[in-house]
Amino acid sequence: MQPSDTVQPIVLLVDKEDPAAHLDAVAAAAAASVSAYARRTEDDAWDNWVYGRFTKSVRRAGPKMFEKMAASAPSGTVAVGRAKAAAFEPVSYEEMPKKLRALQVSGTHLPDGEPAPASPGTPLIIVNADLEMSTGKAGAQAAHALMAWYLTLSAEERVAWYDDGAGRASVRLAAGAEFETLAKAPGAGPLIVDAGMTEIAPNTATAFVAAAG
């Protein structure tokens, strides 16, 4: 199976009566994605995917369905503020469980709001504000950025991120020259450039993990 044949499903809680803030939801999706990989018990489902394009699909679920889906997710439930997300092993679209496949992908737009304060040492994902991505699209791009950053860490650093930070992440927006400057700073994580399959043009820079400190 080729890397492009598999996708990691990420389920995002969308509570219409008490919606989470957009940036918290983006951070939760990213942290859930990498937490599922960090908690893996075998590599068979991950090897081709993680060293390929590590394609992700952020899907939304209401509170009851989210709790059912999260109960079987390798990531468990990852919470950032009021946002919750759960992520699964990569799978082909054809082999994806019907309940996951049935969840909506496009059109997930959570409201702007004050994001939850980040704990010290939590990796900060910078998302390109010029693109005005939906919550789902931004969550997938942030997850790409956090995974690319995680893969640069030593074994000890990976354990520290998951154990000490409980697999957390935070997100902020940056636009124009600020985004470009932060992306080029020494110690910044790999810059994610999108293939342009949905929402944005091909070869568009979308996100990265900011340099620590």
211 against 165, higher pLDDT: 211
194 against 61, higher pLDDT: 61
184 SS3 class: helix
Strand 78-80 vs strand 6-13: parallel, antiparallel, or unpaired? unpaired
Report whether pLDDT(165) > 80: no
Q: Give percent of the chain above pLDDT 90.
A: 77
| Cα 157 → chain centroid | 19
